[in-house]
Chain A
Amino acid sequence: MSGFLTLPLLWAQAGAPAPPRVPAAAAPVVNIAPQWIPALKWLYLSGDPTFTTNDLFGGFLTWLKAVSLLCLVAWIVSWMVIGIKERVVGQGRWYDYIGVLALILTPVSVLLRVLESVHRIPVYTIQGNRVTGIVALLCVVCYVVWIEVAIGRTIKRLGRPLDLLVLFAIHLALAFGLGAGVVLQRIGFLSLIMPTGPNFQLGWRQGLIYGVRMSATFMGYIVFARIAIRCLAELVGVRGRRLYSIAVLSWHEANRKMWAPWVVLVVFLLVLAFTHWFLQPPRAAEMGRLYVGTLSLLCSVLITVMITILTPLSLPNDIQQQTIYTVVSKPTRRLELIWGRMLGYMALVTVLVFVFGGVSLLYLWRTVMTAIRTTEAQAVKAKQENRLTEYKLLSEQADQLRTRMQARYPVKGSLSFLDSRGTPHAMGIDVGQDQSMREPRSHIEGATSSAAIWSFGVVPDPFSPPGRPPIAIDRRIPVSSFLQPGTIDGALDKVYALQMQIDADKQAKTQPNLPASRMSQLDAGITRNQAELDRLRGEYDALRKKADDLLAQSAKAQQEGKLAEARDLKLAATKLSSPDITVEMSFNVYRTTKGKVGEPVFAEIQAINPRTGREYLGDVFAVKEYYTNRVKLPAWLLAGSNGALRIEIRCMTPTQYLGMAESDLYLLLPPGNFGFNYMKGLFGIWLQAMVLTAIGVCAGTFLSWPVALLTTIFFFVAGELAFAFLVDFSRQAIMGGGPFESLIRLLTHDNQMSDMTPTAGVVLAKTLDSLVMPLMSMIVYLVPNFQALDVTNMVADGFAVSWGLMGVNTLLALAYALPFSLAGYLILKNREVAA
């Protein structure tokens, strides 16, 4: 869901007002009947822009709120523009003067606030209220009056009855939202759901602000509904034959007019032909990753560049060359024009993805797989020639190469830490490294009680807010995938499961006032399960005995020198157990100066089944940096675990630190097919192309082709390379201030941390930043998160792309592509194609 949660929130930069700190003694009395709480939660959940749930529904709701708010903004702006163009607004009427006043007051209020914050002016108050606050409020009131009157008059003069209805409904939503905010504050509900808990009281002002936030969402819903109805009405008229026809046209246009697929295909083959010249892996084991990553990148670059150029050119050319006349004068709907083009281009991308994928796989098969086979042959030769160091090195290289050329399914747990005194923490020691990575890394100190613990099962989230019940997260191990039926461990797991069921039933029987029917039901269950348990125990004992016998025979054969027979018997005994569980780890070492250079750092692994209490203590192993450490756990450890397991890692080398993130340790399920996984990785590129196509086509509906091209490029670059920065930007979490302040710091060589002397230039820069940054930060709400769609790194690392991830990414891509395509439709619908 992380992808969804990165969806933009319009109000993010405003942020919820922080609750004032008041003593616990002044805590409000919350008088809400319990039956009302769920309804009130729903009201708040649907209204507040930033409040959501951490599931699929929460993702959808966040998307809906963001789109609705954007719809509201677009609706207001479009009516204002119509009002100005049709001479309803901006004609020197009384409300225009209010608008001018608002425009003047905006920089003035920001300037005053900046001067106040840098202590250039004292904080003036009028009856306890800050003057800057009053000026800002006056400014807001002026804007509201201006927009209200301007839109009202414009709609009255130029709008249709439905527009009047929307205007009326928007006012109802405004009143409802404001009322809801105030009521929620009065009854203490807002205090109840604050992250800080109910011990902090919110005043009526906070209630009003929450009311404004909620009313903005509700007003957005109204506009969204209006647009959705319009789009649905259009959707009813959409016909497959017309979509197909326009898709075929786009296909031919790309092929015959622009020659786009042929150009990218030739470039792809050319680059591929010389890849081995410039691709030199830093370590032999990195070859697979490097080749897979490079080929994926090449596919991604070529396809996205092609789409970036192709899509914004198409519609503007159609309009400019007036070929669109003959199409829109037919019963073609505007939505069909947009979607038809998208379909055509996506058909092209689909073909290219398959061609690129097929050629890439052939190439990888010829290069990397050949390298693996050669390395393995060299290793065997080295062993035969008793060059053991070289054999070990070559074996490891081949193993690492094979690891990358797989589709590994990791089962990940939840990471928490124990410090050197054995106290649990969500994070370990921060050594000041790697905190900017996707997953922050923590360290454990060597030769102390500190440990990194990976918990599997339904476990509490270590980052649950304190003072509240912990949030449970589901990290259960799919036991049936590890413990095969018909094996000793599989039978043992069933025995444990039945025994636990019987124990639970027996426990249930001890409950007082149990109805007789329930009692007899439990008795029957216990009897039935007991019989089954006895049978399974017998089965388990028989398997166990058979294995012991085989091992004994194997030992005997070994003693008698019948090595082949001994090996076969041992193999037969091994087959009676489930295969060992592979645990992979990739830790980094933070070396202090107290250590000896060149000496390995050692670690220890301990696995505990929390339900059965059975433990496994692995051998101490030397941590391989930059490589994957692999440890085998016995399968019996999982028997009776019901998906729960606890793995503890300790650093054994004194004065050294072992660093890890949650994804650094996982259990491995049987691997999938690499080729198929590679194609799944390319599906991420396909999704990127889909979003980009929607943007390109949308931009082409109202911009000339050069501007549309630049717009599409901007969106791709911003979403692919700078999305994380934009998110920080929108949260105003960038160190060193906004663009103007940063420019001053750059020129004066001032560092990012220190406060600047509030000179006139600095005040001006801060004022401009305060005006510009909220506007610029809105870009993040429009820029798609292209990075989230790209899963080629997973493929290059040898991890399987799960269907779940593909599903989420598909939804994420649609969450962007659909609004862009519908925006394109609305623009095209409302523009004169022959103007």
Chain B
Amino acid sequence: MGKSMGLPGSPVPTADSFILIVEGVRVMSHEVIIETRNLTKVYRDFWGRPKVQALKALDLQVHRGEIFGLLGPNGSGKTTSIKLLLGLLFPTDGEALIFNEPTTNVAKNERIGYLPEESYLYKFLNAEETLHFYGRLFKISKAERTKRVGRLIDMVGLSGAKHRQLREYSKGMQRRIGLAQALINNPELILLDEPTSGLDPIGTSEIKTLIRELREQGKTIVLSGHLLADMQDICDRIAILHRGELKELGKVTDLLTVQDVTQIKARNLSPGAIDEIRELIRRHGGEDIAVDHPTTTLEELFLRIVQESELHPGRRKVAQDAGRADALVAGGRSKP
């Protein structure tokens, strides 16, 4: 996907939607954008008998400017939550407010962008027509709409295919145009249901970059997914759902920090120095000491290879040993 990101429309933070960046640490506004109270959804059969309880008394708040992740296995209620927030489903009990308005209020949708789980788009339209169709649903002037359509198509890297009908698109291309339609109105709140589903690692990486950029612009993003690494990378806070129940809610860093384990990273230590450190730890009562070389993630390896391939086309020599592989990925993020 695109060049890095000339997103259409730049946000103008209002008095109550400030984003404070202090030494690279983002501080979210306390303004609540989404609030659910005792939100419950029970799917019933034709006769009104309860079939599945998809969501059980969900209470959560999402603040302006944060990336909020809904995490859980299949059938945990992530998509149901998003559908309830959009008014596509009606709650069996409880309520949900977006911008302090009930979800049934259609006018609030002017400020929302939504990417569904699958790219539910009209396959008989081409990319341009698709974005114009969705753009006309918002209060956007024709000139502005035309400008946004062009920029969004560029952004999602579909300039070369903008006149092809969507039925000819690959799944990844459909996700991209789906994302573009979610951004056509320059929304304040973006709901992304499994945004990286069906994308290759490059696409996934680009989506993640885009999401971060959107956050930089002050937008609030709610995304759902079950790919833990993706969520960990980009979310400020996450809610973990299981069988419709909220199991965990909090900042990613807080939730993932293992308080009773200390990690030390260093470059170019001699074996002697390592032994000294081991000894020092042992003296201070440390247990289960593990010292080894870090590995990178497969995603990073893949991205690097693709990047190299684009820079130097041609058949690439496959590394025969681990040392060569390490050399190839040297400089990558290390892991304990």
Contacts and interface: CB of A to CB of B under 8 A. Distances in A.
B88 A330 contact: no
B118 A329 contact: no
Contact of B87 (A244, A252, A328): A328
B137 A322 contact: no
Contact of B110 (A85, A241, A331): A331
Interface in B50-93: 83, 86-90
A326 B136 contact: no
A832 B120 contact: no
Contacts of B87: 328-329
B114 A84 contact: no
A323 interface: yes
B134 interface: yes
Contact of A323 (B47, B112, B122): B122
Given A85-B44, A325-B114, A330 B90 contact: no
B124 A328 contact: no
A253 interface: yes
Given A326-B116, A331-B110, A245 B137 contact: yes
A346 B178 CA distance: 29
A124 to B, nearest CB: 41
Q: State which size class the interface on A falls in.
A: 20 to 34
Interface string B86-118: 111110000000000000001111101010101
Nearest to A249: B133
Interface string B125-138: 10001000110111
Q: Which of A241, A328, A330 has the most CB of B within 10 A?
A: A330
A162 interface: no
Contacts of A439: none
B114 A326 contact: yes
A327 B87 CA distance: 12
Q: Which of B43, B114, B120 has the most CB of A within 10 A?
A: B120
B149 to A, nearest CB: 13
A321 interface: yes
B165 interface: yes
A239 B137 CA distance: 9
A256 B165 contact: yes
Interface in B121-176: 121-125, 129, 133-134, 136-139, 165
B90 A832 contact: yes
B181 interface: yes
Contacts of A333: 106
B138 A322 contact: no
User: Chain A interface mostly helix, strand, loop or mixed?
Assistant: helix
Contact of A329 (B114, B123, B125, B165): B114
Q: Which of A244, A248, A324 has the most CB of B within 10 A?
A: A248
B136 A244 contact: yes
A253 B106 contact: no
A833 B108 CA distance: 18
Nearest to B135: A245
Contacts of A323: 120-122
B48 A332 contact: no
Contacts, number: 89
A257 interface: yes
A325 B122 contact: no
Contacts of A331: 106-110, 137-139
A402 interface: no
Contacts of B107: 237, 331
Nearest to B105: A331
A248 B116 contact: no
A332 B47 CA distance: 30
Interface in A304-329: 321-329
Given A326-B181, A329-B86, A833-B88, A252 B124 contact: yes
A332 B137 contact: yes
A87 interface: yes
Contacts of A84: 48
A739 to B, nearest CB: 28
Given A331-B107, A832-B88, A325 B136 contact: no
A330 B134 contact: yes
Contacts of A186: none
A242 interface: yes
Interface in A227-277: 237, 239, 241-242, 244-245, 248-249, 252-253, 256-257
A135 B109 CA distance: 56
Contact of B88 (A87, A242, A257, A834): A834
A331 B112 CA distance: 9
A86 interface: yes
A835 B133 contact: no
B21 to A, nearest CB: 31
B134 A326 contact: yes
Nearest to A258: B124
A284 to B, nearest CB: 50
A835 B43 CA distance: 8
A323 B88 CA distance: 12
B48 A326 contact: no
Nearest to A85: B48
Contact of A325 (B88, B123, B138): B88
A329 B87 CA distance: 8
A327 B116 CA distance: 11
B127 to A, nearest CB: 14
A233 to B, nearest CB: 11
B129 A252 contact: yes
Interface in B198-253: none
Contacts of B112: 329
A327 B83 contact: no
A248 B133 CA distance: 8
A325 B137 contact: no
A834 B133 contact: no
A747 B139 CA distance: 67
Contacts of A239: 139
Top 4 A-B pairs, shortest CB-CB distance: A85-B48, A245-B136, A834-B88, A256-B124
Given A86-B48, A241-B137, A332-B137, 12 more contacts: A85-B48, A237-B107, A241-B136, A242-B136, A244-B136, A245-B137, A249-B122, A322-B116, A324-B120, A328-B87, A330-B134, A832-B88
Interface of B: 43-44, 47-48, 83, 86-90, 106-110, 112, 114, 116, 118, 120-125, 129, 133-134, 136-139, 165, 178, 181, 185
Interface of A: 84-87, 237, 239, 241-242, 244-245, 248-249, 252-253, 256-257, 321-333, 832-835
23 contacts: A87-B48, A237-B106, A237-B107, A242-B137, A249-B122, A249-B125, A256-B124, A324-B120, A326-B114, A326-B178, A326-B181, A328-B86, A329-B87, A329-B88, A330-B185, A331-B106, A331-B110, A332-B106, A332-B137, A832-B89, A833-B88, A834-B83, A835-B89
